[in-house]
Chain A
Amino acid sequence: MAPSSKPRTIIIGGGLAGLAAAVRIAEAGMPVDLFSMVPVKRSHSVCAQGGINAANKVARQQGYSEYMHFDETLYGGDFLNHQPPVYDMAYWAPRIIDLLDRMGVPFNRTPEGERDLRMFGGSLYKRTHFSGATTGQQLLYALDEQTRRWEAEGLVTKYEFWEFLWPVLDEQGECKGIVAQDMRTMEIRAFRADAVVMATGGNGLIFGKSTNSVICTGGAAARCYQAGAWLGNPEFIQVHPTAIPGEDKCRLMSESARGEGGRVWVPRKTGDTRRPNEIPENERWYFLEEKYPAYGNLVPRDIATREIFWKCQEGYGIGGGRMVYLDCTHLPDATKNKLAGIFEIYEKFTGDDPRHMAMKIFPAVHYTMGGLYTVYTARDDYKGMVEGAPNNMMTNIPGLYAFGEVNYQYHGGTRLGANALLSCIFDGLFCGLSVANHVNDNVKNRADDLPEAVFDGYVKQEQDKAQALIDADGEDNPYTIGREMGNVMTDRCTVVREAEGLAKCLEEVRNLQQRFKKIRLSDTGMWTNQTLSYARAVWDMLLYAEAIVLGADARKESRGSHYRTDYLERDDANFLKTTIARFDPATGEHALEFEDVPTPLVPPRARTYGQTEQAAAGAKA
Chain B
Amino acid sequence: MIAPGEQKTITFRIRRQDKQDAQPYWEVFELPYRLNLNVISCLQQIAENPVTKEGRQTTPVVWDCNCLEEICGACTMVINGTVQQSCSALVDKLLEETGGGDIVLEPMSKFPVVRDLWVDRTRMFENLKRINGWVPIDGTHDLGEGPKESPEQQELRYGLSRCMTCGCCLEACPQFLLDNDFIGASTIGQALYFNEHKTGAVLADERLDVMMEPGGVNDCGNAQNCVKVCPKEVPLTLAIAKIGRQTTKRAFRYFFAGR
Seen from chain A, the residues whose Cβ lies within 8 Å of a Cβ on chain B are 23-24, 27, 38-39, 41-44, 46-47, 95, 98-99, 101-104, 106-115, 131-132, 134, 137-138, 141-142, 145-146, 148-149, 151-152, 184, 213-215, 246-249, 251, 348-351, 429, 477, 479-480, 483, 522-523, 525, 527-528, 530-531, 534
A137 touches B164 (CB 8 A): yes
Most buried by B among A39, A112, A114, A148: A39
Cα separation A129 to B124 with both chains bound (whole Å): 30
Interface-located stretch among B39-47, B103-111, B217-225, B239-247: B39-47
Cα separation A31 to B221 with both chains bound (whole Å): 42
* Minimum CB distance partner of A531 in chain B: B60
Chain A residues, Cβ within 8 Å of B27: none
Chain A residues, Cβ within 8 Å of B251: none
B148 touches A247 (CB 8 A): no
* Minimum CB distance partner of A100 in chain B: B146
Cα separation A47 to B146 with both chains bound (whole Å): 25
B171 part of interface (Cβ distance < 8 Å): no
A39 touches B68 (CB 8 A): no
Given contacts A349-B90, A479-B48, contact A98 B72 (CB under 8 A): no
Chain A residues, Cβ within 8 Å of B60: 522-523, 530-531
Cα separation A144 to B140 with both chains bound (whole Å): 14
Within 8 Å by CB of A42, from B62, B67, B129, lies: B67
A213 touches B150 (CB 8 A): no
Given contacts A134-B162, A351-B93, contact A24 B140 (CB under 8 A): yes
B90 touches A351 (CB 8 A): yes
B21 to chain A, nearest CB (A): 11
Q: Determine chain B's interface SS by DSSP, over half rule.
A: loop
Chain A residues, Cβ within 8 Å of B134: 145-146, 148-149
Chain A residues, Cβ within 8 Å of B197: 104
A38 touches B66 (CB 8 A): yes
A-facing residues in B16-69 (Cβ within 8 Å): 18-19, 34, 36-38, 40-41, 44, 47-50, 57, 59-60, 62, 65-69
A102 touches B199 (CB 8 A): yes
A531 touches B47 (CB 8 A): yes
Chain B residues, Cβ within 8 Å of A184: 114-115
* Minimum CB distance partner of A97 in chain B: B145
Cα separation A108 to B154 with both chains bound (whole Å): 7
* Additional A-B contact list (19), CB under 8 Å, known A523-B60, A525-B18, A525-B59: A24-B140, A38-B74, A99-B137, A131-B158, A132-B158, A138-B158, A138-B161, A142-B135, A213-B66, A247-B34, A247-B41, A249-B69, A349-B69, A349-B87, A351-B1, A351-B92, A351-B93, A528-B115, A530-B47
B98 to chain A, nearest CB (A): 15
Cα separation A134 to B71 with both chains bound (whole Å): 9
Most buried by B among A42, A99, A132: A42
Cα separation A617 to B68 with both chains bound (whole Å): 34
* Minimum CB distance partner of A249 in chain B: B68
B140 touches A47 (CB 8 A): no
B137 touches A103 (CB 8 A): yes
B215 part of interface (Cβ distance < 8 Å): no
Within 8 Å by CB of B70, from A112, A141, A348, lies: A348
Q: Can you give 11 contacting A-B residue pairs, CB < 8 Å?
A: A46-B67, A102-B137, A103-B146, A104-B146, A113-B148, A145-B128, A152-B129, A152-B132, A247-B34, A247-B38, A523-B50
B161 touches A151 (CB 8 A): no
Cα separation A114 to B148 with both chains bound (whole Å): 6
Per-residue A-contact encoding for B111-140, CB less than 8 Å = 1, 0 else? 000110010010001001100111111011
Cα separation A130 to B9 with both chains bound (whole Å): 44
B142 part of interface (Cβ distance < 8 Å): yes
A248 touches B62 (CB 8 A): no
B187 part of interface (Cβ distance < 8 Å): no
B67 touches A27 (CB 8 A): no
B157 part of interface (Cβ distance < 8 Å): yes
* Minimum CB distance partner of A352 in chain B: B36
Cα separation A27 to B137 with both chains bound (whole Å): 12
Seen from chain B, the residues whose Cβ lies within 8 Å of a Cβ on chain A are 1, 18-19, 34, 36-38, 40-41, 44, 47-50, 57, 59-60, 62, 65-74, 87-88, 90, 92-93, 114-115, 118, 121, 125, 128-129, 132-137, 139-140, 142-146, 148-151, 153-154, 157-158, 161-162, 164-165, 194, 197, 199-200
Most buried by B among A27, A44, A98, A109: A109
Cα separation A213 to B34 with both chains bound (whole Å): 23
A214 touches B66 (CB 8 A): yes
B125 touches A348 (CB 8 A): no
Within 8 Å by CB of B137, from A24, A132, A146, lies: A146
B194 touches A104 (CB 8 A): yes
Cα separation A184 to B92 with both chains bound (whole Å): 33
Given contacts A98-B146, A102-B135, A134-B71, contact A27 B151 (CB under 8 A): no
Given contacts A98-B146, A213-B66, contact A248 B48 (CB under 8 A): no
Cα separation A213 to B72 with both chains bound (whole Å): 10
Most buried by A among B69, B93, B144, B150: B69
B36 touches A350 (CB 8 A): yes
A106 touches B136 (CB 8 A): no
Cα separation A533 to B213 with both chains bound (whole Å): 42
Cα separation A110 to B165 with both chains bound (whole Å): 29
Chain B residues, Cβ within 8 Å of A23: 140
Chain B residues, Cβ within 8 Å of A104: 135, 146, 157, 194, 197, 199-200
Cα separation A613 to B162 with both chains bound (whole Å): 41
* Minimum CB distance partner of A111 in chain B: B151
Chain B residues, Cβ within 8 Å of A141: 161
A486 to chain B, nearest CB (A): 12
Chain B residues, Cβ within 8 Å of A138: 158, 161
Given contacts A479-B47, A522-B57, A523-B60, contact A246 B70 (CB under 8 A): no
B157 touches A106 (CB 8 A): yes
Cα separation A114 to B59 with both chains bound (whole Å): 55
* Minimum CB distance partner of B121 in chain A: A39
A392 to chain B, nearest CB (A): 16
Chain B residues, Cβ within 8 Å of A525: 18, 59
Chain A residues, Cβ within 8 Å of B142: 95, 98-99
A248 touches B44 (CB 8 A): yes
B66 touches A349 (CB 8 A): no
B140 touches A98 (CB 8 A): no
* Minimum CB distance partner of B93 in chain A: A351
A272 to chain B, nearest CB (A): 14
Chain A residues, Cβ within 8 Å of B200: 104
B208 to chain A, nearest CB (A): 18
Chain B residues, Cβ within 8 Å of A349: 38, 69, 87-88, 90
Most buried by B among A112, A114, A248, A534: A248
B133 touches A145 (CB 8 A): yes
B72 touches A429 (CB 8 A): no
Chain B residues, Cβ within 8 Å of A46: 67, 71-72, 164
Within 8 Å by CB of B48, from A27, A41, A213, A480, lies: A480
Cα separation A213 to B60 with both chains bound (whole Å): 20
Cα separation A46 to B162 with both chains bound (whole Å): 11
Cα separation A142 to B161 with both chains bound (whole Å): 10
5 A-B pairs with least C-beta separation: A247-B41, A101-B146, A113-B148, A479-B48, A145-B134
Chain B residues, Cβ within 8 Å of A534: 47
